[in-house]
Structure 1
């Protein structure tokens, strides 16, 4: 008997839901109960009347498991739609990170030089530290963090991924 393992792929999901208490817990519970991992999760209301929220979830799964996740999310009552942006095609993903870097002398100069290369903005500064703001794809942020570790990285805060499909169609 030969069992083939399905290849897992990273998927970015956009889930439109009623903006009501408990929906995020229900969605997270759905993932937890079935042993699915959420790699990134962001939520924000997206309508003028704040009635609808968009939840962006990044997870890795096989095609079969992704079908199950999509079907289970779609069955939740306050869910309007579930879109797999990865399957839909080209899309734009961005993340925001704040990094606190401390240092003196050459380390301070190098931190500023690297920030310039990565187009990170200084949003706070003291005699001993900087707080940098950086937006971009996950790889860019990971690369900046790795370099900042070498010059005095103290703390990192990340928003998680937000994503939107390219082109003129809305989900």
Structure 2
């Protein structure tokens, strides 16, 4: 009797992480393209008012998207070919390159004007699997010339990057 109870307890204990992992994938956006049948999924991770990034998948195409809000009415564009550097949990550095120009979208928040930029960076399934294993610890988004925006992630958000990468790869 005791052995059966211990086996049942061990089974439940080991199946809880599987159940928990299955419930972690909450997509910010999910839809099926009516013509191709491909599923489009996005998970947005907002860090603060100034910086947000997203994991994106359409069929077998994967991307990271970076959204940066800069004070003022900016009149520059962030050119195609701009870099996004990710410092991973194992201290390795991953560099991604944007595939299109990011033009400013001005808006008012409170009493201040801001310019928002949305950058798109292709990423491979293998790179996403690396993020799934060790997470993203630090992000540097290059804006123009030598200027950039840095974002350090705390432990809880590093863990979320692992989960989100996993969801996009498996999704």
TM-score normalised by structure 1 residue count: 0.30
Higher RCO, 1 vs 2 (CA within 8 Å, ≥6 residues apart): 1
